[in-house]
């Protein structure tokens, strides 16, 4: 028990060779594959139940149209082209011959204009195209959004400054690859945290249930090195699971949808953010956020395993913590509570919260969620690990 490296390797081997880890990981990868490929299966039907084409061919055609528009600036000329094309389509029908011929090649731009400006769909057909109006209405929509979130004036100034750094008019790029990553990251996050909970729930409690803890705790290094080795193994395992599932998602999305321009503005996908970052940068932020949430969850799960002495109890608590954020959220009028709730590990791994508008002020400077939360998790992880260590030492002295 005198060699920390030996203990650490042994603890890692115990966790990584668990059948539950192998089975759950395989099932999660299969679920990711199905989630990404099922929408491309089957047929697409238009008005009156008439089959238009297969979903796969529809996607390939939309991809072709998007690639034709890639690199074009969403300026007056492109806005006029888009609105003119859609005016040729009967407003009360979809998937008509007119839509497929004239409007569909501009569908990506049309949907962006509609969402970015907030103009109701019914008004877009009669709206007089104006580039300045699109970007002005977007700023007005952001101001209302910030007001609803109860942001302070300093926070609003922070986001206005970020918004000013974004090049406008925005350049359109095809973002199917990044859209799938952002839309699926919350599911990947939940899978990651679930695997961590299942596999680490018995990291300490298993020793008690097998009756081997009394032997290990009375050894020379039972009070410190064993605990540190288990926590270190939990950290490595949690980071490995997050990396594995995130990498699997990237590879699957890349194989199904192909790559996109890494310089595409994040606003092409997530319109409510004023973050001055690219889609490629957003993917990197998603990974760091997932990694941070996984590590703090792994440490929490390990400490709970030591505290409860029951793997089943730990799993029950972790499942509850995973499910509750999906069932409800804290209303925006309770600003502080809403921000804390959104930044908890079990709900943070979603674009809505990672790229949300809540900030953390430190010494007069404001930090966005993706900048602040990983650091908060690092401090929280250390605090939880130390509390667990203090309790572990007490159990070693008087638990038997």
Report the alpha-carbon distance of residue 395 to residue 399 in Å, rounded: 4
Is it the case that residue 399 has pLDDT exceeding 70? no
Q: Tens of pLDDT along 52-109? A: 778 888 889 999 999 999 999 999 999 999 999 988 887 655 567 778 888 899 999 9
Whether 279 contacts 179, CB under 8 Å:
no
Q: Tens of pLDDT along 173-228? A: 999 999 999 988 989 999 999 999 999 998 887 666 555 555 455 555 556 788 89
How far, rounded to the nearest angstrom, does the alpha carbon of residue 225 sit from its chain's CA centroid? 35
The pLDDT mean for the chain works out to 88
Residue 391: pLDDT band with limits 50, 70, 90: confident
Whether 268 contacts 173, CB under 8 Å:
yes
Residue 327: pLDDT band with limits 50, 70, 90: confident
Residue 265: pLDDT band with limits 50, 70, 90: very high
pLDDT for 220 equals 58
Whether 157 contacts 142, CB under 8 Å:
no
pLDDT for 160 equals 95
Is it the case that residue 384 has pLDDT exceeding 90? yes
Is it the case that residue 24 has pLDDT exceeding 80? yes
The beta strand positions in the chain, using DSSP E, are 43-45, 51-54, 359-362, 365-368
Proportion of the chain above pLDDT 90, given as a percent: 63
Residue 48: pLDDT band with limits 50, 70, 90: low
Q: Tens of pLDDT along 332-359? A: 889 999 999 999 988 898 889 999 999 9
pLDDT for 400 equals 44
User: Tokens for 367?
Assistant: 């930090």
Report the alpha-carbon distance of residue 300 to residue 234 in Å, rounded: 10
Q: Exposed (0-12), middle (13-18) or buried (19+): which is 365, by Cβ within 10 Å?
A: exposed
Report the alpha-carbon distance of residue 264 to residue 61 in Å, rounded: 21
pLDDT for 54 equals 86
For 246, residues 6+ apart whose C-beta sits below 8 A from its C-beta are 188, 192, 286, 287, 290
Is it the case that residue 7 has pLDDT exceeding 90? no
Closest CA to 71 of 268, 272, 250: 268
Q: Find the mean pLDDT for residues 27-51.
A: 83
pLDDT for 181 equals 94
Quickly list DSSP for 224-240.
Answer: THHHHHHHHHHHHHHHH
pLDDT for 122 equals 78
Alpha-carbon torsion (236, 238, 244, 246), positive or negative: negative
User: Tokens for 202?
Assistant: 């018995």
CA of 237: how far to CAs of 12, 37, 100, 229, 295, in Å?
7, 29, 50, 12, 9
310/215: higher pLDDT: 310
Identify the weakest region by mean pLDDT among 118-127, 342-351, 369-378: 118-127
Is it the case that residue 47 has pLDDT exceeding 70? no
Is it the case that residue 398 has pLDDT exceeding 70? no
Q: Find the mean pLDDT for residues 288-293.
A: 96
Residue 385: pLDDT band with limits 50, 70, 90: very high
Is it the case that residue 1 has pLDDT exceeding 50? no
Q: Tens of pLDDT along 133-185? A: 999 999 999 999 999 999 999 999 999 999 999 999 999 999 999 999 998 89
Reduce the DSSP state of residue 209 to 3 states and report it.
helix
CB burial string 68-86: b at 16+ within 10 A, e below: ebbeeebeeebbebbbebb
User: Tokens for 387?
Assistant: 């509390």
């Amino acid at each position: 028990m005198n060699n920390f490296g030996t203990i650490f390797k042994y603890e890692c081997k115990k966790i990584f060779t668990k059948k539950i880890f192998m089975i759950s990981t395989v099932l999660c990868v299969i679920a990711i594959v199905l989630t990404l490929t099922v929408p491309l299966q089957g047929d697409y039907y238009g008005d009156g139940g008439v089959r238009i084409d297969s979903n796969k061919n529809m996607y390939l055609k939309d991809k072709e149209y998007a690639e034709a528009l890639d690199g074009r600036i969403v300026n007056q000329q492109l806005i006029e082209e888009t609105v003119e094309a859609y005016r040729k389509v009967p407003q009360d029908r979809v998937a008509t011959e007119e839509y497929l011929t004239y409007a569909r090649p501009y569908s990506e731009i049309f949907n962006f204009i509609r969402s970015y400006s907030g103009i109701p769909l019914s008004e877009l057909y009669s709206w007089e195209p104006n580039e300045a109006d699109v970007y002005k209405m977007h700023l007005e929509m952001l101001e209302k959004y910030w007001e609803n979130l109860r942001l302070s004036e300093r926070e609003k100034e922070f986001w206005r400054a970020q918004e000013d750094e974004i090049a406008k008019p925005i350049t359109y790029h095809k973002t199917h690859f990044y859209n799938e990553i952002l839309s699926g990251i919350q599911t990947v996050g939940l899978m990651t945290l679930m695997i961590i909970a299942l596999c680490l729930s018995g990291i300490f409690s298993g020793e008690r249930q097998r009756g081997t803890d009394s032997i290990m705790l009375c050894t020379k290094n039972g009070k410190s090195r064993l605990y540190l080795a288990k926590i270190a193994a939990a950290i490595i395992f949690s980071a490995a699971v997050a990396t594995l599932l995130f990498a699997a998602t990237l590879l699957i999305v890349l194989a199904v949808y192909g790559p996109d321009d890494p310089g595409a503005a994040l606003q092409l996908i997530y319109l409510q953010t004023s973050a001055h970052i690219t889609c490629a940068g957003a993917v990197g932020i998603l990974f760091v956020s997932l990694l941070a949430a996984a590590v703090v969850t792994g440490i929490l799960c390990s400490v709970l395993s030591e505290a409860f002495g029951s793997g089943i109890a730990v799993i029950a608590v972790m499942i509850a913590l995973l499910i509750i954020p999906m069932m409800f959220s804290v209303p925006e009028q309770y600003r502080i509570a809403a921000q804390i709730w959104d930044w908890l590990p079990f709900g943070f791994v979603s674009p809505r919260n990672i790229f949300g508008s809540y900030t953390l002020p430190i010494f007069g400077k404001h930090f966005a969620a993706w900048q602040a939360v990983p650091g908060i998790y690092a401090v929280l992880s250390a605090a939880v690990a130390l509390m667990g260590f203090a309790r572990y030492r007490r159990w070693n002295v008087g638990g038997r």
